[in-house]
Structure 1
Amino acid sequence: MADTSVPDFFQRFPMERVTTGELDAELARDDDRIVILFLWGRDCPNCDIAKRQILLTPERFAWPEVRWLHDNVYDDPKMATRFGLHGIPALFVFHRGKKLGRITSWPGADAFVDAVNRQIAATGATA
């Protein structure tokens, strides 16, 4: 089902859709970038807030060292089960296939950007 909460979000901000069955292969790609997995759902107010804040200043969230993936966990409940979700949005940060951290709920643009910048610096991730 298409996301209608924030029209054209995934056309306006580059995130690749991934399913449970595809995630391990995506994380195993020979890539030195950080991967952010954005798990969301339709009619989720906090998911919509995150999307709107990203669209307000998309350049703040478009690091060359970061590759974004997303999945609607209402359409792919196995993804929610895999990560033991109790709420959305949930954002997971990976580097070279290893999970570095989890951000549950949306902390706000500034806190999110600061957290990702710290991970880029700590891992030495490159574009």
Structure 2
Amino acid sequence: MSDTTVPEFFQRFPMPTITDGALDADLAADDNRIAILFLWGRDCPNCDIAKRQILLTPERFQWPEVRWLNDNVYNDPKMATRFGLHGIPAFFLFHRGKKLGKITPWPGTDRFVEAVEKQIALTKASA
């Protein structure tokens, strides 16, 4: 492992791993929360920056209206192809199986939180 890895990230900020083959069924069975799909890669410096910033204030990234999923696209290249990735990290937001949008590259904590909270407000307003 390189010195840029954040090996404790998924222990300190748990989120289920999902693969391309299971994503559609998981999103279809959604419980009305927004799903954030975190696409990342091992030894990816930009992914590690995002992970470290999330770990600095994890409470800012946890909302009752949101559930997290993750996939290492180096281990699951079909996921990268499916979303036409040109770089990671990438965060895709879904609600009831519909893609709401994506956040890439990592914009920093404040802009990320602002974007997610905007989607939460829009989802509530349309309910």
Which amino acid is 1:44 matched to? C
Shift of 1:30: 3.8
Residue 106 of structure 2 corresponds to which residue in structure 1?
106
> What's the C-alpha RMSD, in Å, of the aligned pairs?
1.3
Q: What's the secondary structure of 2:35's corresponding residue?
A: strand
Residue 54 of structure 1 corresponds to which residue in structure 2?
54
Distance 1:82 1:45 in 2: 23
Distance 2:30 2:48 in 1: 32
**Percentage of matched positions with identical amino acids:** 80
Residue 86 of structure 2 corresponds to which residue in structure 1?
86
Structure 2: unaligned runs, 5 residues or longer = none
Pairs within 5 Å for 1:1-127: 5-124=5-124
TM-score by length of 2: 0.93
Kept in 1: contact 2:30–2:97 (CA 8 A) = no
Distance 1:124 1:37 in 2: 20
Q: Deviations over 1:33-59 (max 9, x none)?
A: 000000000111110000000000000
Distance 1:30 1:62 in 2: 17
Q: What's the secondary structure of 1:74's corresponding residue?
A: coil
Shift of 1:14: 2.0
Structure 1: unaligned runs, 5 residues or longer = none
Kept in 1: contact 2:13–2:55 (CA 8 A) = yes
Shift of 1:28: 0.7
Distance 1:30 1:5 in 2: 31
